[in-house]
Amino acid sequence: MAKEDQITKWFAEQANADANAFPIGIGDDMAQVRAGDDGTVLITTDMLLDGVHFDLEQCTLEEACHKAMAASLSDCAAMATVPLCAVVAVSLPVNFGEDELKRIHAGIIDAGNRFGCELIGGDITKWKDVAQRFAVNVTMLSKPSGYHPPVRRSGAKDGDVVCVTGRLGGSIRGRHLHFTPRVAEALALTKAALVHAMIDVTDGLSVDLNRICKQSKVGAMLEMEQLPISDAARDTDDPYNAVFNDGEDFELLFTLSPAEYEKIRDLADVEVIRIGTVTDTMKIQALWEDGRIIDIMPDGFDHL
Amino acid sequence: MAKEDQITKWFAEQANADANAFPIGIGDDMAQVRAGDDGTVLITTDMLLDGVHFDLEQCTLEEACHKAMAASLSDCAAMATVPLCAVVAVSLPVNFGEDELKRIHAGIIDAGNRFGCELIGGDITKWKDVAQRFAVNVTMLSKPSGYHPPVRRSGAKDGDVVCVTGRLGGSIRGRHLHFTPRVAEALALTKAALVHAMIDVTDGLSVDLNRICKQSKVGAMLEMEQLPISDAARDTDDPYNAVFNDGEDFELLFTLSPAEYEKIRDLADVEVIRIGTVTDTMKIQALWEDGRIIDIMPDGFDHL
């Protein structure tokens, strides 16, 4: 298990929240909070750091802040929920001023506008020490679609089909700054079919599939020849390693029954790539065309 | 106007949110979001930085994270709302590990538990560069009390009484790490009386009263001999300067009609200190005992 997951698990074990007030707690892409008698909102928070999640020597402030918003929008997608609004906090290097703030704002607004997600508040802080780098924290609220409950990581069932919405690997070569959060795709998929479990691929297929498997208490068998390898991954020394471990693909990874899969396999405007099957083995395995089966270890891109 | 306020005003001017979906937007202590037909939640986000809002050479990680939660709880109080839950994101220096994460968690939980505020999610990131310092971002949700609408900054009226809930100035000498967010006091005040405008004193009485005045389009006359000077402020060369400009007092500053003031002036368990009157002058003035009147410039502690 990735170190981050071990810590998250420990945090979740300490929690003692009322399940009626908080139907989804620590450990999924978003938590869910009851508000009033008939409404709930979902919430996610993500901190992105200069030199870790982006590099301001190689991208613009607009791109960095666009990515921060897009990463949270991808969380909304991973739950098949509708983005509502965001609050954004930034810590500014000492030399940042009004111009930089307007560029930060432009990146946030551009990403939010594409998905009807309003910027409704924030916080601006500034470092005092010249060595300190830029950080941006997006917290986003979404709401259930109304036609499908929020999709958790824990609902995968033995026999389910495993799918992704696009090609994987090599995102660091550029796509990680310019990906499209799969909000529309998630809503279309869950309008057409009952989806058992879903996550967005942030830390690599091996890590994120392992999260679904661990939380659903299942395993998975991947078919190697079905894995959708991105062009950027094909250009590397080890394309399969890129697919399993690079991360930041921000594609949806989901499972559903074979009967439900038939309803979405040819859905307009959503690429659905079947990559394997949920099993009861409790581990992730991969089947090569020649019949060999190997175990896949979840050690994808881990920020910790 | 403080630089932070000018920027916030610019951000608010860019916003175009539907007032029904978002009854309170950018520019108050919290924004308000409609969820379902009968419910709303309020949201605030705050980033606290090592070396700016606390100094890890002079305080513990538990104290720093306790302060981060308490600052957000103080925002809930400033709106007279009930804290619900928080998500917390941290950026860790390279040498931080599991022990530090457990101490961060302890500080968060300790502060949250005192006000029934659940930790329901978060994000853990780590710097790659050894020079980078710790930051903690708390986003908190609250709900309306049910008996009084959320109290905004913009409702002060000419003739209102201006009050604070405690003594001001010199917080940096220790109180800024150990203050009690005035959640219970805010709920008690708004249960007993109609409060027109409220804010928590974070950037100094002059700055925060100016925020109420600007947003309410009023002025204020303070009575200098009524100002509650903390012991820490009395120990400084210029106690009045400390009261007006130090900030981080986290006391409530509020206005209400003289008739409503009579209902709360002797309220049990809430210290109510009358410090002045709302006027139509559009500026903040102070009346000395000898009858002299001076203008107060809003230039309190500004993190920018």
Least CB-CB distance to B126: which of A101, A125, A303?
A303
**What is the rounded average pLDDT of the residues B227-232?**
96
Q: Is the CB of A38 less than 8 angstroms away from the CB of B43? A: no
What per-residue confidence (pLDDT) applies to A16?
A: 84
* Cα–Cα distance list, B249 to A228, B228, B243 (Å): 56, 12, 9
- Tell me the pLDDT band of B3, cut-offs 50, 70 and 90: confident
Q: Is the CB of B52 less than 8 angstroms away from the CB of A85? A: no
- Tell me the pLDDT band of B298, cut-offs 50, 70 and 90: confident
Which residue bears the tokens 């917390």? B88
Query: Which chain A positions have a beta carbon within 8 Å of B135's beta carbon?
Result: 47, 91, 135
User: What chain A residue is nearest to B145 in terms of C-alpha separation?
Assistant: A36
Q: Is the CB of A304 less than 8 angstroms away from the CB of B124? A: yes
Stretches where chain A sits below pLDDT 70 are 1-2, 299-304
**What is the rounded average pLDDT of the residues B76-91?**
98
Mutation for testing the A interface, residue in B24, B54, B119 having most A CBs under 10 Å: B119
Q: For residue A210, what are the contacts with CB-CB under 8 A and spacing of at least 6?
A: A1, A2, A284, A298
Mutation for testing the B interface, residue in A46, A49, A72 having most B CBs under 10 Å: A49
Residue B151 predicted with pLDDT over 60: yes
What per-residue confidence (pLDDT) applies to A36?
A: 82
Residue-wise pLDDT tens digits, B62-81: 999 999 999 999 999 999 99
What per-residue confidence (pLDDT) applies to A304?
A: 39
Residues 180-199 of A with CB under 8 A from B: none
A75 Cα to chain B: minimum distance (Å): 12
What per-residue confidence (pLDDT) applies to A95?
A: 96
ipTM of the complex as predicted: 0.95
Q: What percent of chain B has pLDDT over 70?
A: 97
What per-residue confidence (pLDDT) applies to A212?
A: 98
Q: Is the CB of A35 less than 8 angstroms away from the CB of B37? A: no
Q: Point out the least confidently predicted range of B3-7, B14-18, B28-32, B218-222.
A: B3-7
What per-residue confidence (pLDDT) applies to A112?
A: 98
C-alpha torsion B158→B161→B167→B170, nearest 10: 10
Cβ burial of B293 (10 Å; 0-12, 13-18, 19+) is exposed
Residue-wise pLDDT tens digits, A171-189: 999 999 999 999 999 999 9
What per-residue confidence (pLDDT) applies to A94?
A: 97
Mutation for testing the B interface, residue in A125, A127, A138, A203 having most B CBs under 10 Å: A125
Count other Cβ atoms within 10 Å, centred on residue A94: 12
What per-residue confidence (pLDDT) applies to B5?
A: 85
B42 Cα to chain A: minimum distance (Å): 10
What per-residue confidence (pLDDT) applies to A301?
A: 43
Q: Nearest Cα to B203, choosing from B34, B18, B26, B78?
A: B78
Does B240 touch chain A if contact means CB atoms closer than 8 Å?
no
User: What chain A residue is nearest to B24 in terms of C-alpha separation?
Assistant: A120
What per-residue confidence (pLDDT) applies to B36?
A: 82
Does B56 touch chain A if contact means CB atoms closer than 8 Å?
no
Residues 89-148 of B with CB under 8 A from A: 89-91, 98, 101, 105, 109, 118-129, 131-133, 135, 137, 139, 141, 143
Residue-wise pLDDT tens digits, B50-63: 999 999 999 999 99
Q: Nearest Cα to B162, choosing from B265, B67, B278, B81?
A: B278
What per-residue confidence (pLDDT) applies to A188?
A: 98
Q: Is the CB of A122 less than 8 angstroms away from the CB of B15? A: no
Instruction: Kindly list the structural domains of chain B, giving each domain's residue range(s) and its CATH number in brackets, ordered by start.
Output: 14-144 (3.30.1330.10), 161-295 (3.90.650.10)
Q: For residue B128, what are the contacts with CB-CB under 8 A and spacing of at least 6?
A: A51, A52, B94
What per-residue confidence (pLDDT) applies to B304?
A: 39
Tokens of A273: 């790539």
Query: Which chain A positions have a beta carbon within 8 Å of B41's beta carbon?
Result: 33, 35, 41, 141
Residue B2 predicted with pLDDT over 80: no
Residue B302 predicted with pLDDT over 50: no
Backbone angles phi, psi at A81, to 5 degrees: -120, 170
**Which amino acid is located at B73 in the chain?**
L
Q: What percent of chain B has pLDDT over 90?
A: 92
Residue B244 predicted with pLDDT over 70: yes
Q: Are A108 and A63 in contact (CB under 8 A)?
A: no
Q: Rounded distance, CA B76 to CA B72, Å?
A: 7
Map chain B to HEC letters.
Answer: CCHHHHHHHHHHHHCCCCCCCCCECCCCCCEEEEECCCEEEEEEEEEEEECCCECCCCCCHHHHHHHHHHHHHHHHHHCCEEEEEEEEEEEECCCCCHHHHHHHHHHHHHHHHCCCCEEEEEEEEECCCCCCCCEEEEEEEEEECCCCCCCCCCCCCCCCEEEECCCECCHHHCHHHHCCCCHHHHHHHHHHCCCCEEEECCCCHHHHHHHHHHHHCCEEEEEHHHCCECHHHHCCCCHHHHHHHCCCCCCEEEEECHHHHHHHCCCCCCCCEEEEEEECCCCEEEECCCCCEEECCCCCCCCC
Q: Rounded distance, CA A219 to CA A212, Å?
A: 9
Least CB-CB distance to A7: which of B84, B101, B133?
B101
Mutation for testing the A interface, residue in B44, B47, B91, B301 having most A CBs under 10 Å: B47
